[in-house]
Structure 1
Amino acid sequence: MTNSAAVLATIRQLTPKVAARSEEIETARRLPADLAQELAQAGLFRMVVPEAYGGLELHPAVVVEAVETLSRADGATGWCVMIGASTAMCSAWLPESQARVIYGAPNVITGGVAAPMGRAELVEGGYRVTGRWAWASGSQNCHWLVGGAVVTKDGVPQMRGPAPEVRLFLFPSSDVTLHDTWHASGLCGTGSGDMEVRDVFVPADRSLSLITERPHVARPLYAFPAFGLLAVGIPAVALGIARRAIDELTALAHQKKLMTHGGQLLAKRAAVQEAVAEAEATLRAARAFLLETVNTTFEAATRGEVTVKHRAELRLSYTHAMRSAARVVDRMYDAAGGTAVYRASPLQRCLRDIHVATQHAMVAPSTLELIGSVLLGVEANTVML
């Protein structure tokens, strides 16, 4: 059995257990430690770690399917796996010695926040980093955490062309303070509180740049656009949540009777039938576009021929999938009527979760402006594509 088939088979075995613990995860506002370790043992946090370091090095389309399937069972679990798996791409950009130290243990979990919310002062042998980052999902179960920071010298930002130099830094969890700030409307079980470091020394070889540096591992997966790989699981979470919403509305429609319509089943209402049909088409079209661009871009990466247009269309498919999934969930929630507002309804959970996911900067509506500039042939800063 290939790595891909084995991972997907394992996830299908795990999803009933994950779904059964969904309320526990929501109430705890974090992923339970034992479940996180079970997911780690299944290799889900090593999906994009190089095979040379004991990882699975999966095709990004398989990562999409894996995260989507988990998110259908529980959105918060899918989100935590997405964050852990995507930050592990750092293993391919780190020097081999550091990559093996950090990612050598088979059950290691990494997480963190790439946004440059910190400051990294250049010192002999490395950097002294101070910063506080919001949205550090799954951080309670992480052994290492990543934080983005602007590089400074004597307090002055170091420039790389017109912009300050930005790097990612890896900290052992013992150097990081976690703040319980995650009192959110949705994705409650992700434990996405703040992480903070104060004047922590990071050796130079434990930092990296996805913008100015090439990966140390020369494999097709790491020729895939770096920010595309970092974000590939985000639309997958959305697709899984939206699929769950359709599942839940379909089940409800065969149970709920409408007293105002002579006891007719909800499934018999024309408006509900239309809503389900449109939701199905919307979701499957978004998923097809996502997988098309992921596969096309990966094929280009294997040839070393990834263009700016590939990168733009890839990111377009991510944002489109997120926005489409949100529309699907909204439609299913509306179609359910008053039943959906109760805490016991999975549809209200889907609604809350998807509308937190939409706020991620990598799939925000503003990404469409940059993508549209590329598609129109207008000059634009495409560094972050």
Structure 2
Amino acid sequence: MLRIEEPVSRPLPEAGESGDAEAALDDVLTELAGRRDEFRELRHVPKDFVGRLKRTGIYRAATPARFGGEPLPPAEFLRRIERISEVDGSTGWVASFGSALIYLAALPLETQERIYAAGPDIAFAGALFPPQRAAETARGYRVAGRWKFASGCMGADLLGVGLPGDEESGGKPRTAVLRPDQVEIVPEWDVVGMRGTGSFDLVVDGVEVPREWTFVRGGEPTVDEPLYRYPTIAYAAQVLAVVGAGVARTALDHAREIGGGYTGVTGAPKLADRSYYRTEVARAEATLRSARAWFYEVSEQVWTRVLAGDPATDEQNAELRLASAHLAKTSSDVVGTLVEISGTAPIATTHPLQRLSGDALVPKQHAFLGPAIYDAAGAVLMGLPPTSPGFR
């Protein structure tokens, strides 16, 4: 029987080894530009590149300072994920889960001490759905089942699987934390967007997970630091939405660059000489920048409140969720518009907009960012209870 008894043990690179975080990130993005096609073929971001991302501080940006982490204000972390996503959406998506350590802050402090014993740079990947019931044991839970969408699992140091909520958790779902050697990864991931995220299935066969290695998703943190008072589920939605913004930014830059040179086979004027092309590119630019500006504005407002020692209000949480869903949809719509106005060129499988349109589609399809969020946010803004479970 496999049990989590010892801390995760492995060499972890220090963020400062490659100079400051920005310089390290520049180096990593240069490498990423040359390897993104490799990741797409592999269908995952390999562990060696996750190690490169660790050198940028991405995987200590949500580690508690008391355990050697360097927690970043949410907006600062989001901007780094956006930059990565401009180069490759899949890698941005995987890197975004550097924020997922805010979930682990709900574990007992003794458990967290074990997790960070070898260093603060921890890659955590979770497959939470569908929640699988686990039999209670004297020590915890007997976990068995199959879960989907474990983005980044191939490079993860720890894995989580979802359990249903119970009376003790107030109905909120639990997550059981396991080592990779306790889990079978099934590479079932054949998609048109975010192909390189390695969002594979996880299978667990009767592993007993001690109760202290489970946490309530969105539960009260045991760490008293500002980042863990920022709305947890809203932050999880933000880090995914901003990936779409990075993808859309690259699509717009491509449209502006190609507009001056592309001429169709019919002999029609080049794209930049067509009024509808100029108009739609300008409209898309304004639309994306507006959605993005509100997204960061709300994040910074809530962070200021948290730093002052006050919890985010229900309305602020709703605005975070709404701004995230709006940014995800806007980003996908922008890329779709650019495909529509670019003639026949984007129908080629090798055209950049093909990859970008698929990648931009994924964030807005996520449960945290889908159409139901508008209804739930609207209800809260009108003083009603949210209509979507797990909204906060």
Common fold, TM-score beyond 0.5?
Answer: yes
1-structure distance, mates of 2:177, 2:284: 41
Counterpart code for 1:305: P
Pairing 1:103–2:116 present:
yes
Counterpart code for 2:105: A
**Structure 2 contact 241–364 (Cα < 8 Å) conserved:** no
Pairing 1:287–2:292 present:
yes
Counterpart for residue 278 of structure 2: 273
Q: How does 1:301-340 map to 2 (within 5 A)?
A: 301-302=306-307, 303-340=309-346
Counterpart for residue 259 of structure 2: 253
Counterpart for residue 154 of structure 1: none
**Structure 1 contact 143–173 (Cα < 8 Å) conserved:** yes
Counterpart code for 1:47: A
1-structure distance, mates of 2:130, 2:321: 20
Which secondary structure state, in structure 2, belongs to the residue aligned with residue 168 of structure 1? strand
Counterpart for residue 138 of structure 1: 152
Counterpart for residue 50 of structure 1: 64
Q: Which runs of 5+ in 2 are unaligned?
A: 1-14
Which secondary structure state, in structure 1, belongs to the residue aligned with residue 202 of structure 2? strand
Q: How does 1:86-235 map to 2 (within 5 A)?
A: 86-106=99-119, 107-115=121-129, 117-150=131-164, 158-159=166-167, 164=171, 166-211=173-218, 213-235=219-241
Q: Percent identity?
A: 30
**Structure 1 contact 238–357 (Cα < 8 Å) conserved:** yes
Q: Which runs of 5+ in 1 are unaligned?
A: 152-157
User: Structure 1 residues 104 and 283, CA, compared in 2 at 3 Å: closer, same or farther?
Assistant: farther
Counterpart code for 1:265: K
Counterpart for residue 14 of structure 1: 28
Counterpart for residue 5 of structure 2: none
Counterpart code for 2:301: T
**Structure 1 contact 129–199 (Cα < 8 Å) conserved:** yes
Q: Deviations over 1:194-228 (max 9, x none)?
A: 112122111111111134x4211111111111111
Counterpart code for 1:237: V
2-structure distance, mates of 1:180, 1:268: 46
Q: CA deviation at 1:159?
A: 3.1
Counterpart for residue 298 of structure 1: 303
Which secondary structure state, in structure 2, belongs to the residue aligned with residue 285 of structure 1? helix
Q: CA deviation at 1:33?
A: 2.6
Q: CA deviation at 1:91?
A: 3.4
Q: Which shifted more, 71-80 or 190-199? A: 190-199
Q: CA deviation at 1:383?
A: 4.6
**Structure 1 contact 112–137 (Cα < 8 Å) conserved:** yes
Counterpart for residue 73 of structure 1: 87
Which secondary structure state, in structure 2, belongs to the residue aligned with residue 234 of structure 1? helix
1-structure distance, mates of 2:172, 2:289: 40
TM-score (norm 1): 0.91
Match of residue 30, structure 1, among 33, 44, 47:
44
Q: Which shifted more, 110-119 or 298-307? A: 110-119
Q: CA deviation at 1:7?
A: 3.0
Q: Deviations over 1:134-153 (max 9, x none)?
A: 111111111210112025xx
Q: Which shifted more, 174-183 or 16-25? A: 16-25
Q: CA deviation at 1:165?
A: 5.1
Counterpart code for 1:28: L
Q: CA deviation at 1:259?
A: 4.9
Q: CA deviation at 1:334?
A: 1.4
**Structure 2 contact 124–160 (Cα < 8 Å) conserved:** yes
Q: Deviations over 1:87-118 (max 9, x none)?
A: 22233222222112223334432111344522
Counterpart code for 2:257: A
Measured on the aligned residues, the alpha-carbon RMSD in Å equals: 2.1
Structure 1 or 2: larger strand share?
Answer: 1
Counterpart code for 1:175: Q
Counterpart for residue 363 of structure 2: 357
Counterpart for residue 375 of structure 2: 369
Q: CA deviation at 1:336?
A: 1.7
Q: Which runs of 4+ in 1 moved over 6 A?
A: none
2-structure distance, mates of 1:135, 1:207: 19
1-structure distance, mates of 2:167, 2:322: 29
Q: CA deviation at 1:41?
A: 2.7
2-structure distance, mates of 1:284, 1:236: 12
2-structure distance, mates of 1:48, 1:116: 26
Number of residue-to-residue matches in the alignment: 373
